[in-house]
């Protein structure tokens, strides 16, 4: 059974998609970008500031689904500049302490010209 996950503590979907979908005991999130859900605006600053907001948004979606960072199985990370990898990785490592599987790629552009985006697959009801 599919269940749409929605929280006002993460940015609204800006297209025809859900923040996340729960399927049985697996959560599949859409990519989270550094938008402050309170203002709807992109957090200004460098990759560190933007990555911190992304992690807050990911955490809010995880919490709404009844899970947390420790239950994340796989992440996919998108960077607009691979030169930001080390700084992004520093923030990422503080949140994903269980070291889930990960892909991290540089892309030509991201929505709203942000510097990073992260999507996750997580276990629910661990």
Range of the domain at 14: 2-123
pLDDT mean across residues, the chain: 96
pLDDT, position 126: 60
Number of structural domains the chain divides into: 1
pLDDT, position 15: 87
pLDDT, position 110: 96
Q: Answer whether 62's CB lies under 8 Å from 118's CB.
A: no
Q: How far apart are CA 60 and CA 50, in angstroms?
A: 15
pLDDT in tens, 33-51: 999 999 999 999 999 999 9
Please compute the mean of the pLDDT values over residues 96-125 and round it to a whole number.
Answer: 97
Hey, which residues are catalytic here? 104
Residue 84: its H or E element: none
**Residue partners of 58: CB distance under 8 A and separation at least 6:** 10, 29, 32, 69, 95, 118, 120
Q: Residue 61 sits in a domain of what CATH number?
A: 3.30.1330.40
pLDDT, position 20: 98
């Amino acid at each position: 059974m599919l269940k749409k996950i929605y929280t006002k503590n993460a940015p609204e979907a800006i297209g025809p998609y859900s923040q996340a979908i729960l399927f049985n005991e697996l959560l599949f999130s859409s990519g989270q970008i550094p938008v402050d859900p309170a203002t709807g605006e992109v957090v200004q600053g460098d990759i560190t500031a933007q990555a911190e907001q992304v992690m807050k948004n990911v955490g809010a979606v995880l919490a709404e689904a009844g899970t947390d960072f420790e239950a994340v199985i796989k992440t996919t990370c998108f960077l607009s500049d691979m030169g930001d990898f080390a700084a992004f990785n520093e923030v990422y490592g503080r949140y994903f302490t269980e070291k889930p599987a990960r892909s991290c790629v540089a892309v030509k552009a991201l929505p709203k010209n942000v510097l990073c985006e992260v999507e996750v697959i997580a276990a629910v009801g661990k």
